[in-house]
Chain A
Amino acid sequence: MARQPFGRKAVTAATIALTLVLAACSGGNGASTAPAGSAAALSGEIRVVHAWAGAEGDAFKQVVAGFSTANPGVKVTLVQVPFDDLNSQMIQQFSAGSPPDVVSVLPGLIHTLAKQDLLMPLDDVWDKWVSDSEYSASIRTIGSYSGHAYGVFFKGNVNALIWHRNDVLQQLGISDPSSWSDFTAALDKIKSGGKYAPFAVGAKDVWVPTQWSDAFLAKVAGADKFNGLIDGSVKWDDPDVVKAFQTFSDFVKSYFPSNALDIGFTDANCEWASQKKAVFQNQGAFVNLTTPANCGKDLDPKKDYTFFEMPAPNPAFSDVHFVSGDLFAVAKATKNPSAAKAFAEYLGSADAQAIWAKLGGFIAPNAKTDPSVYPTDNDRKAAKLFSQGTAVYDLDDAIGGQVQTVEREELKKLIQTHDVNAFIKAMVDASSGAGG
C-alpha cells in the first residue's frame, strides 16, 4: 500500500490559491532531459545520501566517479548529511514520502524501514553474490529483514582491535598476548609501572562504549547469545549476558582512565599514538587511517603502530569476530529503480570497494577484493579477520531505535558507577518497552 502522508490530495482549500501561484512559477526545474541512449544504457538522475566528511568524503566521491564512468547516462547527485543527523533525517524523509534513491544506513534502520515496506528488496543481487562466493550467507543476513535482503554491505570494519605503538610496547617488554590472562598480566604490568595509563578511552563519543561492551559480549557470551540479543530471542538478564557485562565492568574498574567519559575518540586516539600517555586503544580497523590524520602526518602505519585482536576472556569464543560497517539501501519509492539498483549493486562489487580500499582505512566486505590493493599490512591483517571465523555485527547499530539510545547512555553510566545490575535492569526495561 502506498503511503501518502499529506499527499497532493490533502492540500486543503485554504492553500489552493497559493499552490496555483507557485505551480505557475515553477517551470524551469523539470526532469532532466538526458539524450536517449541505447535501450540498455541507464539514464536519469539518482540522489545518494551519505555522511562522510573530509578525507572519507573524498574517497567516496572517487568510488562514485567509477560508477559515473561506466554509466555516463546516469547523473549521481551526492548529498552529505551530518553523521549525527543521518538517522533522524532519513526517517523524516522516508516518512514524508520524499526519500533519496540510495541511502547509507545501518542495519537497525534497514529493519525499521523494511518493516514499513519502504525499501527495495535486492534478493536477486544477493543470490548472485552468495553463489559467486563474493559474500557469505551470514553477511547477507545483516542487512536482511524477514527473509529479504535490503542492505548492500559497502564498507567493512573489524573491531575489538587493541591498537598500540610498536616502540612503546617494545620498551615495556610486552609482546602480543595470546590469552586473556597474558593480556591482563600485561595491563597490570603497565599499571604498576606508572609511566603510562593502560588504555586511552574516548567514551565521550556515544559509540565508543558500545565498541567495548560488544567485544566483551562476543567474547564472553558468544555469537549465539550476541545475535539472540539482536533478534530478541535472548533477554538482557540472561546469565551469560550478565556475566559478559560483569567482566566488562570489572575491566573498567581496573584499567579505564578517569578521563574516559570526558574525552572523545579522536583525543583518545592521540593519547597513545602521539602523546604517549597511554599504551592501548580498543578500536576498529579504521584507526589505521585516522591516526596520522588526527595525531600527526608523520605517523606511519607501516612501522609506527599496529594492533592485535583482543583475546577472548572465554577461550571458547576466540574465533568470534566483532565487525561493523556501512550499508546502503535503495528506496522503494525511487523514480529511477533501474539506475538506483545498479548503483547499489556497484557499491557491493569488488571493483568499487577496491577503489576505497586502495586509499586505506577501509575493509572491503566483498571477498573477491584483491588483498594486494590494501596499502598497509595493518589493513590486510584486519581484512583477513573480517572474513575469518564467526562474525557478529555491531549490536546497537543492528538493534537501532530506542534500545540503542538507552544502551549507549546506560553504558556511560556503567563506566561511571560499575553498577551492572542497574545496567541490566535498564536494558530489560528498554527492550520490553520497545514496541516499534
Chain B
Amino acid sequence: MARPRWLGTAAIYAVLTLLSIVWLVPVMTVVMTAVRPFAEIREGWWNLAGASLTLDNFGRAWQEAGLAGKTMNSLIITGFSVASTVAVGALAAYAFTRMRFRGRGLLYFLLITTMIVPVQIILIPLLPWFRALGFSEGSWQPFLGMVLVHTGFGLGWAVFMLGGFFASVPRELTEAGQVDGAGHLDEFRRIVLPLALPGIVSFAIIDFVFVWNDLLLGLTLLDQEHQPLTVGIANLQSAHLARQDVISAGALLAILPPLVLFVVLNRFYVRGLFAGSVK
C-alpha cells in the first residue's frame, strides 16, 4: 500500500535542501561581498575564477563604525530590553489570560495597539519627552531610557504572543476568583511559566532581533556614546562611494550575536525540555 517511509523522507530532504539553497543565496551574496574585493563581485560573486580573499573589509568596518563600543551598547540595550519586556509582558499576559477584572478589554485593546502603530508616528513627541525625563544625558540614563522605550513598544507583542502561549497551558489549578494573590504568583511561576517556556523563548528571540535591529530609535534618541551597532553600520553608507563591501562585513559581524543566541536556544527547542512534562 503506502510507499516506503524512506522515499518520503528523501523527498522532504530534497525539498528542504533546495529551499535552503534559495534562502542562502542572499546570505552568500553578503559573505562573498565581505570577503572578496568588490571589483570581483562586479563580475558576479559566484564567479570563482581567480578569486582572491581579503579580510580588509572587516577591519575597516570594525574601526570605522566603532563596532567595539557599539556592540557593547547594543548588547546592553538589547539584553535589558528583552529581559524587561519578557518579565513585564509575562506578568501582564498572565493577568489577561487568567484573571477577570474591570477594564480588562479596554486595557488589552490599548496595549495591542502598540503593535499596529509604527514607531515613527510617535517619534516627534517622543524625542522632547525623552529629554524632559532626563534620559538624553548621562552615562547610564540613556540606556535606561532606551530600555524603557523598547519595553513600552514591545509590550503589545509580548502580551499578544505570550498570552497566546499561556492560553494553551491547561488550567489545572485556577478556578476563576478562587485563588488569592499568592496562589496566582505561585501558579504563574510553577505551572504557566515552565509550560509556556518554548513560547517565551520564541518571543524572546523575536524581541531580541527586533531590538537588536532597531535603527530609528537608536539614531534619534541616543547620543554618539550610547548608539547601537545599527547606527554604526548605517554610518558606513556613502552617497558617492561603493560601500557594499564594508557594510556587508559590518552586517556579518552584527548578525553574530543574534545568531549565536538562536543556535544556543535552538538546541533547547529540539531537545524538548518539556517532553517529560507532557508525558
Assess A/B contact in the complex (Cβ within 8 A). yes
Whether the pair A83, B239 counts as a contact (CB closer than 8 A) is: yes
Identify the stretch in B98-106, B136-144, B200-208, B254-262 within 8 Å (CB) of chain A at 4 or more residues: B136-144
- Interface flags for A349-391 (1: CB within 8 Å of B; 0: not) read 0000000000000000000000000000000000000000000
Whether the pair A53, B238 counts as a contact (CB closer than 8 A) is: yes
Whether the pair A293, B242 counts as a contact (CB closer than 8 A) is: yes
Least distance between A9 CB and chain B CB atoms (Å) = 9
Identify the stretch in B23-31, B80-88, B121-129 within 8 Å (CB) of chain A at 4 or more residues: B121-129
Q: Give bound CA distance, A95 to B131, whole Å.
A: 12
Q: Give bound CA distance, A286 to B7, whole Å.
A: 61
Identify the stretch in B110-118, B162-170, B181-189, B229-237 within 8 Å (CB) of chain A at 4 or more residues: B229-237
Q: A89-B219, A286-B240 are in contact. Are A10 and B132 (CB under 8 A)?
A: yes
Interface status of B59 (Cβ within 8 A of chain A): no
B residues 201-222 touching A (CB-CB < 8 Å): 219-220
* The one of B129, B132, B237 that contacts A83, using a Cβ cutoff of 8 Å: B237
Q: Give bound CA distance, A57 to B63, whole Å.
A: 13
Whether the pair A54, B131 counts as a contact (CB closer than 8 A) is: no
- Residues of B near A274 (CB, < 8 A) are 39, 42
- Residues of B near A295 (CB, < 8 A) are 39
- Residues of A near B131 (CB, < 8 A) are 6, 96-98
Least distance between A295 CB and chain B CB atoms (Å) = 7
Whether the pair A296, B39 counts as a contact (CB closer than 8 A) is: yes
Whether the pair B134, A53 counts as a contact (CB closer than 8 A) is: no
Interface status of A331 (Cβ within 8 A of chain B): no
Interface status of B54 (Cβ within 8 A of chain A): no
Residue of B nearest to A293 (CB): B241
* The one of B124, B127, B134, B242 that contacts A26, using a Cβ cutoff of 8 Å: B134
Q: Give bound CA distance, A6 to B130, whole Å.
A: 10
- Residues of A near B137 (CB, < 8 A) are 26, 29
Least distance between B117 CB and chain A CB atoms (Å) = 18
Interface status of A13 (Cβ within 8 A of chain B): no
Q: Give bound CA distance, A265 to B242, whole Å.
A: 9
- Residues of B near A57 (CB, < 8 A) are 64
Whether the pair B132, A8 counts as a contact (CB closer than 8 A) is: yes
Least distance between B40 CB and chain A CB atoms (Å) = 11
Residue of B nearest to A4 (CB): B128
Interface status of B224 (Cβ within 8 A of chain A): yes
Residue of B nearest to A283 (CB): B240
Interface status of B133 (Cβ within 8 A of chain A): yes
Q: Give bound CA distance, A196 to B206, whole Å.
A: 49
B residues 30-72 touching A (CB-CB < 8 Å): 38-39, 42, 64
Whether the pair B64, A11 counts as a contact (CB closer than 8 A) is: no
- Residues of A near B141 (CB, < 8 A) are 22, 25-26
Interface status of A117 (Cβ within 8 A of chain B): no
- Residues of A near B234 (CB, < 8 A) are 82, 84-85
Residue of A nearest to B145 (CB): A22
Interface status of A147 (Cβ within 8 A of chain B): no
Residue of B nearest to A275 (CB): B42
* The one of A10, A79, A95 that contacts B124, using a Cβ cutoff of 8 Å: A95
Least distance between B128 CB and chain A CB atoms (Å) = 4
- Residues of B near A23 (CB, < 8 A) are 134
Whether the pair B42, A270 counts as a contact (CB closer than 8 A) is: yes
Point out which of B125, B128, B239, B242 has the most chain A C-beta atoms below 10 A from its C-beta. B239
Interface status of A290 (Cβ within 8 A of chain B): yes
Interface status of A254 (Cβ within 8 A of chain B): no
Whether the pair A265, B240 counts as a contact (CB closer than 8 A) is: yes
- Beyond known contacts A53-B237, A83-B238, A84-B234: 19 more, CB 8 A cutoff: A11-B133, A18-B134, A22-B135, A22-B138, A25-B141, A26-B138, A53-B235, A53-B236, A55-B241, A56-B241, A81-B235, A82-B219, A83-B237, A96-B131, A97-B128, A205-B239, A270-B242, A290-B241, A293-B241
9 A-B pairs with C-beta separation under 8 A: A5-B128, A15-B133, A26-B137, A79-B224, A82-B234, A82-B237, A83-B237, A84-B237, A96-B128
